[in-house]
């Protein structure tokens, strides 16, 4: 199917619309590639803080929850205690009984 050459007063408008659609398509493709690249870079970042491999829990205590603060780690145990450790998870700083 051959297209007939554009003639008449609408020829310039049709060329402009084709250029506009092409430009918008290229812009959307570039934007999508940039968005995917940013997401991949963010997912590949190493976190600044992580949990230690082992935490020195008291004998008989089992951890049910754990959270990290800026300079502490809190462990909730199955015997209703909250244990606050340093960032290494080896030095117990505080013990809180939950009633």
Mean pLDDT, residues 66-84 taken together: 92
- The model's pLDDT over 13-63, given as tens digits with 9 standing for 90+, comes to 888 999 999 999 999 999 999 999 999 999 888 766 678 888 888 888 899
The yes-or-no verdict on residue 72 having pLDDT over 90 is yes
- Considering only residues 46 and 65, tell me which one the structure prediction assigns the higher pLDDT: 65
Question: Quick one: 94 exposed, middle or buried, by C-beta within 10 A (0-12, 13-18, 19+)?
Answer: exposed
Mean pLDDT, residues 64-73 taken together: 90
Domain boundaries, the chain: 1-45, 49-99
CB contact at 8 A, 55 and 74: no
Mean pLDDT, residues 81-97 taken together: 92
Taking the complete model, does pTM exceed 0.75, yes or no?
Answer: no
């Amino acid at each position: 199917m051959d297209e007939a050459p554009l003639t008449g007063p609408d020829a310039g408008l049709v060329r402009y619309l084709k250029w506009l659609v092409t430009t918008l398509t290229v812009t959307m493709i570039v934007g999508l590639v940039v968005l995917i690249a940013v997401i991949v870079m963010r997912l590949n970042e190493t976190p600044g803080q992580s949990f230690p491999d082992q935490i020195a829990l008291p004998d008989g205590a089992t951890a049910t929850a754990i959270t990290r603060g800026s300079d502490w780690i809190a462990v909730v145990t199955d015997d209703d205690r909250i244990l606050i450790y340093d960032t290494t998870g080896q030095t117990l700083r505080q013990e809180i009984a939950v009633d």
